[in-house]
Structure 1
Amino acid sequence: MAGQFFISSFLIGCVISVGFAAIPEYIHICHRSDPKVGACIKDSVEFLRPYLVKGIPEVNVPPIDPIKFDKIVIFDGVSTPNLNAYLANIEATGLSKFEITKLKLDVDKMTYLVGVKFPFLEMHGDYSVDAKILAAPIKSQGQFHANVSGIQGQGLIQGYIGEGTNRLLFSSISLKLKISDFNLDLENFLNNDPVLGQAARSLVSGNKDELIRISTPYIERKASEVLLELANRITEHLDYDEVFPLSSYLHVCKRTDPQLDDCIINDIITLMPKLKNGIPELNAPALEPLVLDTVKLRSGPNRAKIDADLTDLKLYGISDLKILSLKSDIPNKLFTAKIALPRITFIGNYDIDINVLILKYQGKGEITGNLTDYGVEIKLSYNIITNDGKEYMNLVNFKLSLIQGKSVIMLDGLLRQGNTAFAKGMIEVLKDNTDLFVTEIMPNLEEGLNVKLIEIANNITHQFPYDELFLP
């Protein structure tokens, strides 16, 4: 009974409590991609504790302290011949003092192992005993009072997704209980035969361990059946991705959704604030700044050559992008998009080598600049890879094309190195022809962005099975 209550509470904390459209303020939301999801669920149950005492009508959870039960069969007369006993109209107190002792989850396999203990329970209600001892019939009814101490329970819960649905259901719940001690007082027990009644009481008090051993399997089995029915009744109308979200920053989109493109756009908008600072659990680096190791410029023949290496480039403003359009083609595994970048600022280092006729110039320093009103056209294709029997989205081609806007670039330190007259001329040429300079470096800049962004994207998509990112 105690284990049954706690696993019900666990399911509420783990499954139900994270999924309502209007989430109550006392619910602590957990996401299955969280590497600390077990600790999160444990915290969720703790947050629920005071509300469990009062009951939660919206999920059909009655108050737990005290809690009432209609009937608990102790001995069924079948597995225990000549002994039939049950308790009815039971009221128990002490369940709210539970302590979580174990919580292990395999989110992918939907397996949940829960351990709990209760220091002390008190119960009262009605009893009925129908037995035969040494051919002597024993029948008695009345009220009982009991206390049970040192209760430990462990439940193994197996979930699955219903066929043709995305409903979370449970196929089995296996409950194991261990009871240290109990005291039982049966009023009016065999009052018509005081000698036999006293003998029966002595038999019970002197054989507690044996009675616990005999009665526990049936209590476990019956509690598991009741709990399984309760769990499926709670979850049968709820979408798995709503009750146990994939993550706090990804909203799952359905491939068949006629508004799929809008769903993906909303996902990107939601994801950007997270990507701005990075998502360590997904190995996704921060977009602010986005760091490019090297962008190279190789221009002109040998007698009019400009070689430049831009290194450790830090770009700011990527997360402020505006999605102008997005088109998905799931059957062909293709996405296309147009994006506006209102303003990109950057800082890095340059190493330039110029050879024009007989004039030569070499210089190093810091490069800064800003790019305003740039556009981006993206064509992205992917395939499906398999890992541990699950399919994942894998980006194979990220074609990014920049549409040039206004550009301002500054090369610090040109005048402090080599031919200063030539350097002054270079500054003026760069000032008047910044767009031409950007045009020259754009192919390598695009390639650097392609490599970096496909790496970030795959770090994310490789974390989630394809059917969870895009529901069938």
Structure 2
Amino acid sequence: MKLNILIFVCFMAICSSAEVPTDNKLPPYIKICKRNSEALKCVLENIERCRPYLAKGIPRLLIPALDPLNLPELDIVGNNLRIKLKNLKVHNLPSLKVVDGKLEFEDFKLALKLNIPHIYNEFEYEAEGKILVLNFHGNGSGYTNGSDINLDIDAKAHPVSKDGRTTLAVDYVNVKYKATTGKFHVDNLFRDQKELNDQTNRLINENFREFEDEISPDIGKSISSVITRIATNILEKYSFDELFPLE
């Protein structure tokens, strides 16, 4: 479900706490991509080369350990509900795959289509609001499962020259996402009313698409904000010529 995608991208929020080497050398398994017609293929191959290292993290690229990924807190706000997730553990992120992409050097645009076959998340929560026809206010523990998650990312940047060095600054990052199937479960949503809690979990999962649509707008904004911040950190560290030298 959309919650899984938000958690996937929100691992970026803790990247600043990773121990990052002070030099600007790229990891040895990353290939320098020349600024030519083969650049996109090179970028996609680099992403694939990174996958075996994602579980333990890649400090030089500001990527923390991803399996499991521990997140201290995450807020989700929809039209009729507010959920605060705490002590999240996200499993199976390194299974992400790049389905397709497009890279335009003239306009400094990048488009990626990603797929995550399956993600499992555990968390503690505090929540209040209205789900379908039921008002609630509770706290406890929960989990989510998401399968066949598709994520479309469109981003644009512009060059910035300073002290003889040209880097890229992010203009925008737009995110569209969709989970084919998902399951959501929380305990104690209605305090000690177990039967009502079970009925609500069942109702949410029977109306998965409606619930997903309710929370998706704010989740999309959160994803875009976090990617923008982390992309900015990386693009400020490496110059455009270091990342994509001319022939």
Structure 1 stretch displaced more, 388-397 or 260-269: 388-397
Residue of structure 1 equivalent to 2:185? 410
Cα distance, 1:355 vs. partner? 5.3
- Any gaps of 5 or more consecutive residues in structure 2? 1-19
SS of residue in 2 equivalent to 1:414: coil
| Partner in structure 1 of residue 64 of structure 2 | 285
Aligned-pair CA distance for 1:402: 0.7
Aligned partner of 1:271 in structure 2 is: 50
Q: How does 1:138-217 map to 2 (within 5 A)?
A: none
Question: What is the root-mean-square deviation of aligned Cα atoms in Å?
Answer: 3.0
Letter in 2 for 1:469: L
Residue number among 435, 444, 447 corresponding to 2:221 in the alignment: 447
Q: Per the alignment, do residues 403 and 283 of structure 1 end up closer, same or farther by CA in structure 2, a change over 3 Å counting?
A: closer
**Secondary structure of the structure 1 residue equivalent to 2:242:** helix
**In structure 2, what is the Cα distance between the partners aligned to 1:360 and 1:271?**
45
Residue 9 of structure 2 corresponds to which residue in structure 1?
A: none
In structure 1, how many angstroms separate the alpha carbons of the residues matched to 2:117 and 2:134? 39
Give the structure 1 partner of residue 138 of structure 2.
363
Q: 2:239 aligns with which of 465, 468, 471?
A: 465
1:343 aligns with 2:123: no
The change in CA–CA distance for 1:309 and 1:436 in structure 2 (over 3 A counts) is: farther
The normalised TM-score by structure 1 is 0.43
Secondary structure of 1:251's counterpart equals: coil
**1:374 paired to 2:149:** yes
How many residues are aligned here?
225
Given residue 254 of structure 1, which amino acid in structure 2 is its aligned partner? K
Matched residues in 2 for 1:447 and 1:292: separation? 19
Contact 2:127 2:189 in 1 (8 A): no
Q: Which runs of 4+ in 1 moved over 4 A?
A: 33-36, 418-421
Structure 2 length-normalised TM = 0.77
The Cα of 1:343 is off from its aligned counterpart by 0.7
Residue 221 of structure 2 aligns with an amino acid whose one-letter code is E
- Using the TM superposition, give the Cα deviation of residue 269 of structure 1 relative to its aligned residue in structure 2, in angstroms: 1.3
Q: Which amino acid aligns with 2:142?
A: I
Deviations for 1:167-213, whole angstroms, at most 9, x for unmatched residues? xxxxxxxxxxxxxxxxxxxxxxxxxxxxxxxxxxxxxxxxxxxxxxx
1:401 has 2:181 as partner: no
CA distance in 1, matches of 2:238, 2:156: 18
Q: How does 1:90-101 map to 2 (within 5 A)?
A: none
* Corresponding residue of 1:294: 74
Do the aligned partners of 1:393 and 1:466 also contact (CA within 8 Å) in 2? yes
Greater RCO structure (CA 8 Å; 6+ sep)? 2
Q: Deviations over 1:207-228 (max 9, x none)?
A: xxxxxxxxxxxxxxxxxxxxxx
Match of 1:316 in 2: 91
Determine if contact 1:310/1:351 at 8 Å carries over to the other structure. yes
1:261 maps to which residue? 40
Q: Which runs of 5+ in 1 are unaligned?
A: 1-32, 37-106, 108-244, 301-305
